[in-house]
Amino acid sequence: MAFLADALSRVKPSATIAVSQKARELKAQGRDVIGLGAGEPDFDTPDNIKEAAIDAMRRGETKYTPVSGIPELRQAISDKFRRENGLEYTPDQVIVGTGGKQILFNALMATLNAGDEVIIPAPYWVSYPEMVAICGGTAVFAETRLEDAFKLTPQSLEEAITPKTKWLIFNSPSNPSGAAYSESELRALTDVLLRHQHVWVLTDDMYEHLCYDDFQFRTPAQIEPKLYERTLTMNGVSKAYAMTGWRIGYAGGPRELIKAMDMIQGQQTSGPNSIAQWAAVEALNGPQDFIDRNKTIFAGRRDLVVSMLNQANGISCPVPEGAFYVYPSCAGLIGKTAPSGKTIETDEDFVTELLETEGVAVVHGSAFGLGPNFRISYATSEALLEEACQRIQRFCAACQ
């Protein structure tokens, strides 16, 4: 009898975590490595948020909390949804989890049965299909194209829907491509969903506040109110508030679903960290001006990276609307010989040779379900980004 669960055979390790770990190992060996694999802001958590956490500790807010989160945070989230998204979720329609991952996982665990299908546009965040697999569902990939700016088209969505479809996982702005959907693009997709009453929408809005060039963020239930009763709107404080390590994600949705997620979370972790929740209250209710300041810095980094990558032989890099990633194509290097003498046959070969030759750690696109591409996180200093891009240009020029 096998000791480990059969479900593990359906799951792969996180490629983004693996790249970051590899970069750390090489640095520990004394190698000069620039790691561009991590998906977290390099900014520090704002002081007012940290002070709110300290104040909470001094007040003794160090006990277990309700499973779905403290009332103050659920109210702050309800207010945020109303203020920023025009969505009415009362506090009993809100759940707080230990990061966005737990929110997504609990929603899938609460709803998926064997044979249920979940549509995931590709490229996708590496954890989506693995979560679906662990929860017993079947991931159905709807590929996007560079020509469509890596955005799901209404036709592709229509073709992916079957009688077994339970969810569409919708991430805008996207990890890994940075693609964000305009109001008209969203409406074209919601029109398709209106024709298929059995399909629910699981939105991942984690990069909501990281949109550039006057792009106006919208979320599906905001665009099409008729989808409200079959949408779970997920978000968190990790990216916009530079709070990745605080591990706070949240969602608003129909009461029956939120109640089911609460039951699962109650048997899994119970309530999230009490102090992190009070910090999140301040994040959502406190000053928001630093978001625009950080966004301006991110936009400058994006423009630098896109410009320099497009000057590299064999690389084509579109300009993303949001998040802090670019997703360039390395198709022009497939079939060429790397400086080591090895043939670059895949995007994974490309990133492996780049790391070994130039010490730049990026993530191969096939890990996100679409290649030959690679993902760069520009959530680091301009100096490091410029140096990394110079190394990429040098590597590409040396490939014959």
CATH superfamily ID and name for 6-44+290-398: Aspartate Aminotransferase, domain 1 (3.90.1150.10)
pLDDT band, very low/low/confident/very high, at 24 (cuts 50, 70, 90): confident
Which pLDDT value is given to residue 219? Answer: 98
Q: Who's near 102: CB < 8 A, 6+ residues apart?
A: 249, 265, 268, 269
Phi, psi of 380 (to 5 degrees): -150, 180
pTM, entire model: 0.95
Which pLDDT value is given to residue 244? Answer: 97
Task: Give me the mean pLDDT over the 232-239 stretch.
Answer: 98
pLDDT, tens digit (0-9, with 9 covering 90-100), for 34-49? 999 888 999 999 999 9
In which order are the strands placed within the sheet that holds 165-171? 94-97, 249-252, 231-236, 200-204, 165-171, 117-122, 138-143
Which pLDDT value is given to residue 11? Answer: 82
Q: Are 352 and 346 in contact (CB under 8 A)?
A: no
If you ran DSSP here, which 8-state letter would residue 346 be given?
A: S
pLDDT for residue 27 is more than 90: no
Domain segments of the chain as ranges: 6-44+290-398, 63-285
pLDDT, tens digit (0-9, with 9 covering 90-100), for 162-213? 999 999 999 999 999 999 999 999 999 999 999 999 999 999 999 999 999 9
Percent of the residues in the chain that have a pLDDT greater than 90, as a whole number: 91
Query: Any idea which of 26-35, 305-314, 318-327, 377-386 has the lowest mean pLDDT?
Result: 26-35
- CA pair distance 60, 35, nearest whole angstrom: 39
| CATH fold for domain 63-285 | Aspartate Aminotransferase; domain 2 (3.40.640)
pLDDT, tens digit (0-9, with 9 covering 90-100), for 267-293? 999 999 999 999 999 999 999 999 999
**Mean pLDDT for all residues in the chain:** 96
pLDDT for residue 299 is more than 80: yes
